[in-house]
Every structure is written in structure tokens, then in C-alpha cells.
Amino acid sequence: MLFSNVNEEEFELVSEFEKAGVIYKEVRLKNRGHRCQGCGTFHTNVKEYRTKKIRHSVYAHQNCFILYKQRRFICPKCRMTAMETNPFISHDDRVSDQTIINALTDLKRYNNTFTAVAERYGLSVRGVMSLFDRYCQMERNRLPKVLCIDEIYFSRKRRKKYVLVLLNFFNRAIIDVLKDRDKHTIASYLSKIPREERDAVEYISIDMNDNYRDVLQVYLKNAAIVADSFHVIKRVNKVLDDKRRKIMRRFEDNKSSDEYYLLKYRDQLLFSKSLSYDRTMNRHFRYYISENELLGMILKIDPELESSYHLVQKYILFNDHDYGGDLKTARNDLEELIIEFKLSGISGFPELAATLEYWKEEIISSFSLVKGQRVSNGPIEGRNSLIKKVLHLANGYTNFDRFRNRIIYSLNKYASHSFQRE
């Protein structure tokens, strides 16, 4: 079908040819007559034909133009002239409606860049961007019952290099993207949302960022703030990793030593949740050994490293425990861990205990169950990976508004463009 919006019985293909790799289709509408706007006379008199050259996307990856022979009618009574209605274009006098629709549809896929779409339909990159800016102005989505908030690196060329992503925990829909993660930006944004909508938010998952917590407590008063468990574990593991690095430096003068090899190149065994008991050939030791045995060798290097490892494992067991929404038991267990960290006598753990104490309520809230699920930033981390791909494929964005609209349009299933044929 040459045109999806024009019945084949309404036009005739006058000629078709190819020149310099470009397809040309000369078409003319059937003469159905015209009613004069001046005197009301219905007639079929044609004064002349004017050829309009319209870019058309019937063939992707090959330039195609419609040579539309448009009639100019002249009334036999009052001599008033009028151009025949053009069914191929409604907004742009050089690009067909079908081309616009196809380009916007392709941009719905996050891995289609503006450049790729422009090349596919023989348009300029700036022209595709202009179409997108015109027809893809995305409204924010309504705040959900469970909200996830996380920042993502946007551009090194901006003074404020991070943007803030708001996401619906359950359906993974992006609520909005804010231009930066500053407290006043978040406050200004939330203050413009109706109070009734803000009060309906019940949980908010964040990383351990004071700015987020402070402003959210003011504008989303009914919501329990949840410290994302992944970020808490990351803080806990950092204490163990700092200990490993400190001990490793003692062996830097002898980098061929077993100790340096284990601490430098097998360090991930300290943080692995699943260790293999199968023995494989180890090139350093030149004999068969399992991951579990290698971990045992690492822990024997220094008693403080071993103690640190077991303390971290206690927190991981606490974090992974299924409390079934029993926040009272979770609170008791966390408080016992905090005391144990404080009294451990191992550098780094008293400071970690202070951090856990500071974020205690938010950590406990992370064990709340909503529809049988623990609230976390897991869903937004998945979306962030796609956002990073959009940035990478485009080699970055300089226009934040265009970036925001592209993310909401391409990553939200039901987001759509506003183009309509007139």
C-alpha cells in the first residue's frame, strides 16, 4: 500500500521512476469536484496543476518522494480559485504524514537514535529532532503508591552532572526525570504537585542520601522512607574492602607472594554469595583448589580481616532474612548488630555502626512488604541501565528537555506522541 491514509481508489499513479538511487512516484487524485467557497457552485473546472515534492517513507533506507500533481480549481461563475485538499500532508509542506508517523514510531524504541531514523527516511537529523520536539512533549505521570528515586550520571559538560529519575515500583513506569538532584529542585517540583496526590504516596525507596530524605519528609509526609538494601550492603562491604586494601599494602613489596595474589586478584571471593566447592587448576598455586578453599586462605592472612568478614556476613544474613513484614523483630536484630559493630574493636566498624544507627528507621522500613514484595530500588536500577544505553548510543545529550522526553516516551510502554492528521 503506497499510502495508509488515502484510499487507493482516490488517486492514480501517473508514473514511477528512479533517478540517482531515489524513487519518485508521480500521483494525482481523482477529480471529485470542488464547491466554491465564494458562491457555493459545485464544479470540476481545473485552472492548472502544481507539482508538490513530498518526502515519503514508504521505503525505509531508500529515499522516496511523492510528486503530487495538485489541482488548482477555478469557479466557472465567480472565477474564484482554490487549491485541491492535500491528503498527504497536514503539518509540514515537505514531509508526508506517513513519514512523520513512521519516524515517531521508530523513536519509540530506545535503541533507535535520531541519526539512525534520519538516515532511514532520508531526513536531516535536525529535522527528526524538530519532529520529536514538536510531537513528543511528555507530561509527568501521577505519583504512585510506591515511589523509587535514584540519580544517574547525565553529562560531564554540565555544572550539575547528575539528573534524578522517579519511577513507579510496580509497573516500572518512569514518573519523571528532574534536571538535577539538588534539594531545592526536588522541593520545587514536589510543591507543584497537588497535596492529595502527594499524600497518597506510601513508600519511597532512596539511596542513603540526606538531601532526598530531608525534602521528602516535608513534601511526602505520609510516606515511609526506605533505605535501598543494595546501597546499605554497599556501605557495609566497603568497610571490609577498605580492610582488605590496607592489609594488601603490607605485601606490595613482594607482589609474587601468595598473600598479595589472594588479596589482589581473588578479592571478589570475600563478597560472593555463592562459592564453588569444585576444584579447578589454579595458575598461581599450580594445583587444583576450590573457591571455598581459596576464601579460607584469604581469611587466614590476617585475624582482623577474618573477623571483619564474619561481621559483614552477619549483616548480609540479617538483610536477606525473611521477616514476613515483622518490623519489630527486624528492629531488634538490627540494634543487636549495631551494638556488636560498636564493640568489635575493629577499625571502620564503629563508624559503620553510627551510619546504620543514623539510617535505622529507613533500614527497618525496607523490610515492609507491599503486595508481598520488599520495597527497593531494584526496578529503577534496571531502568537506569536502559537510560545509560540511550545516552551512550546518542553520544550524550546537550538538550535536557529533549533527553527527558525521549526517556519517558521510549521507556514507558503506553507513552505516545501527539501527532494527528488534520
Q: Are residues 239 and 193 both part of a single domain?
A: no
pLDDT of residue 55: 76
pLDDT of residue 56: 79
Using an 8 Å Cβ cutoff, are 47 and 6 in contact?
Answer: no
pTM of the entire structure?
0.82
Q: DSSP label at 371?
A: T
Is pLDDT of 5 > 80?
Answer: no
Average pLDDT over residues 385-395: 95
Closest of 145, 150, 140, 149 to residue 199, by C-alpha: 145
Q: Are residues 12 and 90 both part of a single domain?
A: yes
Q: Where in 320-383 does DSSP place strands (E)? A: 369-370, 373-374
Task: Between 323 and 56, name the one with better pLDDT.
Answer: 323
Is pLDDT of 107 > 80?
Answer: yes
Q: Are residues 260 and 320 both part of a single domain?
A: yes
Burial of 168 (0-12, 13-18, 19+ CB in 10 A): buried
- Pairing relationship of beta strands 34-35 and 174-178 according to DSSP bridges: unpaired
pLDDT digits (tens, 9 = 90+) for 278-333: 999 999 999 999 999 999 999 999 999 999 999 999 999 999 999 999 999 999 99
Is 14 a domain residue? yes
Proportion of the chain above pLDDT 70, given as a percent: 95
Q: Are residues 352 and 234 both part of a single domain?
A: yes
pLDDT of residue 3: 57
Confidence class for position 16, pLDDT limits 50, 70, 90: confident
Is pLDDT of 231 > 60?
Answer: yes
Dihedrals phi, psi of 140, to nearest 5 degrees? -70, 155
Over the chain, what is the mean pLDDT?
Answer: 92
Confidence class for position 178, pLDDT limits 50, 70, 90: very high
d(CA 197, CA 208): 25
Q: Which domain holds residue 31?
A: 8-103
Is 3 a domain residue? no
Confidence class for position 6, pLDDT limits 50, 70, 90: low
Burial of 149 (0-12, 13-18, 19+ CB in 10 A): buried
Is 123 a domain residue? no
Confidence class for position 98, pLDDT limits 50, 70, 90: confident
Helix (H, G, I), strand (E, B) or coil at 81: strand
pLDDT of residue 119: 86
Q: Are residues 20 and 90 both part of a single domain?
A: yes
Confidence class for position 421, pLDDT limits 50, 70, 90: low
Is 47 a domain residue? yes
Average pLDDT over residues 128-149: 96
Confidence class for position 399, pLDDT limits 50, 70, 90: very high
pLDDT digits (tens, 9 = 90+) for 312-325: 999 999 999 999 99
Q: DSSP label at 71?
A: E
Which triple of cell numbers denotes residue 109?
524504541
- Choose the final residue of a domain: 76, 103, 130: 103
* Other CB atoms within 10 Å distance of the CB of residue 238: 13
pLDDT of residue 1: 47
pLDDT of residue 328: 97
- Return the CA Rg of the chain: 32
d(CA 354, CA 182): 25
- Choose the final residue of a domain: 35, 70, 103: 103
Confidence class for position 366, pLDDT limits 50, 70, 90: very high
pLDDT digits (tens, 9 = 90+) for 332-356: 999 999 999 999 999 999 999 999 9
Is 141 a domain residue? no
Q: Cell numbers 516535608 correspond to what residue?
A: 218
Is 115 a domain residue? no
Q: Are residues 253 and 200 both part of a single domain?
A: no
- Pairing relationship of beta strands 34-35 and 162-168 according to DSSP bridges: unpaired
| Low-confidence winner among 111-125, 211-225, 230-244, 297-311 (lowest mean pLDDT) | 111-125
Average pLDDT over residues 218-246: 97
Closest of 206, 207, 205, 201 to residue 221, by C-alpha: 201
Proportion of the chain above pLDDT 90, given as a percent: 79
Average pLDDT over residues 394-402: 94
Using an 8 Å Cβ cutoff, are 315 and 352 in contact?
Answer: no
Is 32 a domain residue? yes
Q: How many domains does the chain have?
A: 3
Q: Are residues 304 and 245 both part of a single domain?
A: yes
Dihedrals phi, psi of 221, to nearest 5 degrees? -65, -30
d(CA 305, CA 346): 9
- Choose the final residue of a domain: 36, 68, 103: 103
pLDDT of residue 86: 77
- CATH of residue 215's domain is 3.30.420.10
Average pLDDT over residues 370-395: 95
Q: Are residues 235 and 189 both part of a single domain?
A: no
Q: Are residues 233 and 324 both part of a single domain?
A: yes
Is pLDDT of 2 > 60?
Answer: no
pLDDT of residue 95: 81
Is 133 a domain residue? no
Q: Are residues 239 and 322 both part of a single domain?
A: yes
pLDDT of residue 143: 98
Q: Are residues 311 and 392 both part of a single domain?
A: no
Helix (H, G, I), strand (E, B) or coil at 54: strand
pLDDT digits (tens, 9 = 90+) for 29-45: 889 899 999 999 999 99
Is pLDDT of 4 > 60?
Answer: no
Rounded to the nearest 10 degrees, the angle between the axes of helix 183-191 and helix 210-219 is: 20
Q: Are residues 200 and 251 both part of a single domain?
A: no
Using an 8 Å Cβ cutoff, are 174 and 383 in contact?
Answer: yes
